[in-house]
């Protein structure tokens, strides 16, 4: 079994739990996801199966869209509502300031990676250091906010939508918003509604998949790359992973033979070489 399935992750489950569920359902070990969702989060999780795990990194690079809730007046150790409460206070803010702050985040910004995350430092995950109460110098990275807008404010809950680059921690983005508003707050809820062209409306729950209700996406469904149909001679050349000299400027090419997907090739130094063999 080779392909991609769009999962709608349920709240309370880890992304690894979803992988384990599919391992059990399909009896296949080679399954991976393309972007971790916190246990508190729900929404789209793109799952690569079989040879399609070779496409995990490429699919992970796709921008992602979220609807997030901020609970104002509470600070926790995990930066979300499930964590241990470190501080509570009454906070004052207004819609005008929220809109101004949120709008200011569009573009490239620096975020601090949460201590309660799976990011590895010296071979160890940050949450392991946090649980051991071992101090680690804060780690930052650059992300890009492609779009962000306010949805609503209801008492102490601010809801917003954003489309962001790979590596964005919404919990960190929320802390930036709170700092700019001079309030404390944490993530109250999170839904990933899209990953590039993959939409939450087209996902399947684990229960649906158990009943055989799902769609296995193939490479044509994943990318809008040019398709090149191989001749018989080229097919025998390509199936051994050889480079090809082809008259195209496209970075990626989907190679097919007799209507069957063979490989994804990437252009490097004027030649196309294998990115992922799908035979």
| Residues 17 and 93 grouped into a single domain | no
Last residue within a domain, chosen from 170, 190, 210: 190
Q: Considering its fold, how many domains does the chain have in total?
A: 3
Task: Note whether 115 and 71 are same-domain residues.
Answer: yes
Q: Could you report the per-residue pLDDT of 119-165, keeping only the tens digit for each?
A: 888 888 888 888 888 888 888 999 999 999 999 999 999 999 999 99
Residue 170's domain is classified under what CATH number?
A: 3.30.2350.10
Reported as a single tens digit per residue, the pLDDT across 86-117 is 999 999 999 999 999 999 999 999 999 988 88
Asked if residue 69 and residue 183 are part of one domain, the reply reads: yes
Give the C-alpha separation, 279 to 277, whole Å: 6
Cα–Cα distances in Å, from 95 out to 158, 256, 279?
9, 54, 55
Tens of pLDDT, residues 164-214: 999 999 999 999 999 999 999 999 999 999 999 999 999 999 999 999 999
Is there a single domain that holds both residue 145 and residue 127?
A: yes
Say if residue 105 is in the same domain as residue 77: yes
Same domain, 70 and 149: yes
Q: Are residues 9 and 42 in the same domain?
A: yes
Task: Pull the structure tokens for residue 71.
Answer: 């609970």
Query: Are residue 156 and residue 244 in the same domain, yes or no?
Result: no
Structure tokens at 204: 């399947």
User: Is residue 12 located within the same domain as residue 46?
Assistant: yes
Amino acid 128: pLDDT: 87
Q: Which domain holds residue 270?
A: 225-277
Active site (catalytic) residues = 38
Domain CATH number, residue 273: 2.30.130.10
Q: Are residues 147 and 81 part of one domain? A: yes
> What would you report as the CA-atom Rg of the chain, rounded to the nearest whole angstrom?
22
User: Do 232 and 209 fall into the same domain?
Assistant: no
Residues 143 and 157 reside in one and the same domain: yes
pTM: 0.92
Instruction: Report the mean per-residue pLDDT for the chain.
Output: 94
CB 111 within 8 A of CB 179: no
d(CA 215, CA 98) in angstroms, rounded, equals 40
């Amino acid at each position: 079994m080779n392909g991609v399935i769009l999962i709608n992750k349920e709240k309370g489950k880890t992304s690894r739990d979803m992988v384990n569920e599919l391992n059990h359902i399909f009896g296949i070990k080679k399954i991976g996801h393309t972007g971790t969702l916190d246990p508190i989060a729900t929404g789209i999780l793109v799952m690569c199966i079989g040879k399609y795990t070779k496409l995990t990194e490429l699919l992970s690079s796709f921008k992602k869209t979220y609807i997030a809730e901020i609970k104002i007046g509470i600070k926790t150790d995990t930066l979300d509502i499930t964590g241990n409460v470190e501080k509570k206070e009454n906070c004052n803010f207004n819609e005008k300031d929220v809109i101004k702050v949120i709008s200011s985040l569009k573009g490239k910004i620096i975020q601090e990676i949460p201590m309660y995350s799976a990011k590895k430092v010296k071979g160890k995950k940050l949450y392991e250091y946090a649980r051991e109460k071992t101090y680690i110098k804060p780690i930052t990275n650059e992300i890009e906010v492609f779009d962000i807008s306010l949805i609503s404010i209801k008492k102490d809950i601010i809801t917003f939508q954003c489309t962001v680059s790979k590596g964005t921690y919404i919990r960190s983005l929320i802390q930036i918003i709170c700092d700019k508003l001079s309030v404390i707050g944490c993530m109250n809820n999170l839904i990933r509604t899209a990953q590039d062209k993959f939409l939450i409306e087209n996902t399947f729950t684990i229960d649906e998949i158990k009943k055989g209700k799902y769609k296995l996406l193939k490479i044509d469904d994943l990318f809008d790359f040019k398709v090149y149909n191989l001749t018989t001679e080229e097919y025998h050349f390509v199936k051994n992973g050889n480079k090809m000299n082809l008259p195209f400027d496209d970075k990626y090419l989907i190679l097919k033979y007799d209507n069957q997907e063979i490989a994804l090739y990437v252009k490097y130094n004027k030649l196309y070489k294998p990115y992922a063999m799908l035979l």
